[in-house]
Amino acid sequence: MGLFVNPGNDAFQMALNSEIYVDKTGLLEYTNRVMDTKQAFICNSRPRRFGKSTTADMLVAYYSCGCDSRQIFEGTAISQAETFHQHLNQYDVIRLDIQWFLASHESVESLVERINKSVVTELREHYPDELQSQTVSLAEGMSRIHEATGKKFVVVIDEWDVLIREEAEDAKVQKEYIDFLRTLFKGSHPTEFLHLAYLTGILPIKRVKTQSALNNFYEFSMLSAKTMAQYIGFTEEEVRALCQRYHQDFERVKCWYDGYRLGKFHVYNPNAVINLMLWGEFQSYWSQTGTYESIIPFINMDFDGLKTAIIQMLSGGTVEVDVNTFRNDMVSFQNKDDVLTLLIHLGYLAYDQMKGIAFIPNEEIRQEFQAAVKKKKWDEFLQFQQESKELLDATLNGEAWKVAQGIERIHTQFASSIQYNDENSLSSVLTIGYLAAMQYYFMPIREMPTGRGFADYVFLPKPEYIEEIPALLVELKWNTKAETALKQIKEKRYVEGISGYTGKILLVGIAYDKKSKEHECVIEEYSC
């Protein structure tokens, strides 16, 4: 059992010993299935605190011949699989934590050299006859061992992208590191000495020009998790079970910590869910990182309209994003879509693959965004937040004329002349206008199925505010009267869509005239 070569199972045993452990060993069924195939090169990227390192520890504990893990996997999902015993502790495993190498050495310039030297030295202890003293690279060492013994390796690299993120401006260091990875994994020769390669980090593999630097890898990310969707992070079913065990309100947990869409799965940040279950406090458990700090300058300079997009998402809206141009690094931003794509990978935004839209996933992340922009003294945001509060107050006070004026001002400010005269533009304006509502309401529900149709917007108060403020049911109309919008709410019985809600309800009709560009508003308290 070594530090890098054939590590033990202690790290994974610690995870199993924890009060809360959710079984993710089903992932091993997939890695067993693809071993020794072209699909055996895997890069699985997720945000911080999503369980990536625990997954890496699990792979090591299962495959490493440096330990006996039969007992610790008893009763897990993988123990029921036909391939369980076939692969259990059968392979030479090399595990690298690039963050550890970076943190434990003063100079980053010789990082690749130190990785090669450290691992080859340990490999030589296991294979003294096969590795001569002149062997200097890890790839060469594994190749020589394979030639002499026929043995192949499983390679697991945690925090593979730390140099891409933390040494973003050092092109020389990054090139040396990428070249190191290429010697390990790229081309036909490495396939001869590798059973399986598993990389995990926050970012997908860096792109060089238009393609991945390691284009033989199959990538699973926050943009497209595919088979890996349910194995990194907690699924809705798993969170529901934890809520029952710890007597938490699932719907409230969902509003606070849900929002990530990975294929057919709703995925939750495990760190947030575990902390809530252990301590019982609904709050943000998100830890800001240096990575996020590097994005703030782009927001401050309103990079390609980024500020407006952030305001819209903070208000509960969505933004279309093209994720295909992002180079998977921290410096090659061409437009706001690249910055938004990075925020998706960091977990600060969620992404709907089918619709191609980004949005703030939940209350926890919304609070983190607000704290970040306040900390950076984003004056425009603070001013807009005040204007939005005045709009919300006018709505709650039934001051329809003030609401019409406020919406008109925002519409003029944020909507382009091309998009001005349509209902979608008004919807975006409404979302932005009610930014302040996010303090008291959950994210607005768009196109909510109701009695005989779909309500444009529904704002439901957070549980702690139900006694103080009403729910808002809003209908938008273009080139007609606000009274028509209100009439539609009543005739189509939109209130039935929130029949389980017991607090007060305000019906709000908003419209504007195409020619005059004047806005109207009608507000009425619902009575049974």
Burial of 22 (0-12, 13-18, 19+ CB in 10 A): middle
DSSP-derived pairing of the beta strands 505-512 and 471-478:
parallel
Beta bridge partners of 509: 475, 522
Beta bridge partners of 43: 199, 219
Amino acid at site 207 = R
Residue 493 pLDDT: 80
Best CATH choice for the domain 379-525 from the list 3.40.50, 3.30.200, 3.30.60, 3.40.1350: 3.40.1350
The CATH-assigned architecture of domain 10-228 is 3-Layer(aba) Sandwich (3.40)
pLDDT in tens, the chain (528 residues): 688 999 999 999 999 999 999 999 999 999 999 999 999 999 999 999 899 999 999 999 999 999 999 999 999 999 999 999 999 999 999 999 999 998 887 778 888 999 999 999 999 999 999 997 777 799 999 999 999 999 999 999 999 999 998 887 788 888 899 999 999 998 777 889 999 999 999 999 988 766 677 889 999 999 999 999 999 999 999 999 999 999 999 989 998 999 899 999 999 999 999 999 999 999 988 865 566 677 777 777 777 788 778 888 888 888 999 999 999 888 888 889 999 999 999 999 999 999 999 999 999 998 888 777 776 666 667 777 788 899 999 999 999 999 999 888 887 776 554 454 555 556 777 777 888 888 898 888 776 666 566 777 889 898 888 889 999 988 888 778 888 888 888 888 878 777 777 788 999 998 887 777 788 999 999 876
Distance CA 438, CA 430 (A): 13
- What is the secondary structure of 486-502 as a DSSP string? HHHHHHTTGGGGGTT--
Classified by CATH at the fold level, domain 290-375 comes out as Arc Repressor Mutant, subunit A (1.10.10)
Burial of 482 (0-12, 13-18, 19+ CB in 10 A): buried
Is the separation of the CB atoms in 67 and 89 below 8 Å? yes
pTM score over 0.85: yes
Domain ranges of the chain: 10-228, 234-279, 290-375, 379-525
Convert 130-143 to b/e letters by CB count within 10 Å (16 or more is b).
bbeeebebbbebbb
Amino acid at site 226 = K
The sign of the CA dihedral 270, 276, 278, 279 is positive
Distance CA 130, CA 126 (A): 9
Distance CA 14, CA 19 (A): 10
Distance CA 300, CA 103 (A): 31
Q: Name the strand (E) or helix (H) holding 449.
A: strand 445-449
Convert 103-128 to b/e letters by CB count within 10 Å (16 or more is b).
eeeeebeebbeebbebbbebbbeebe
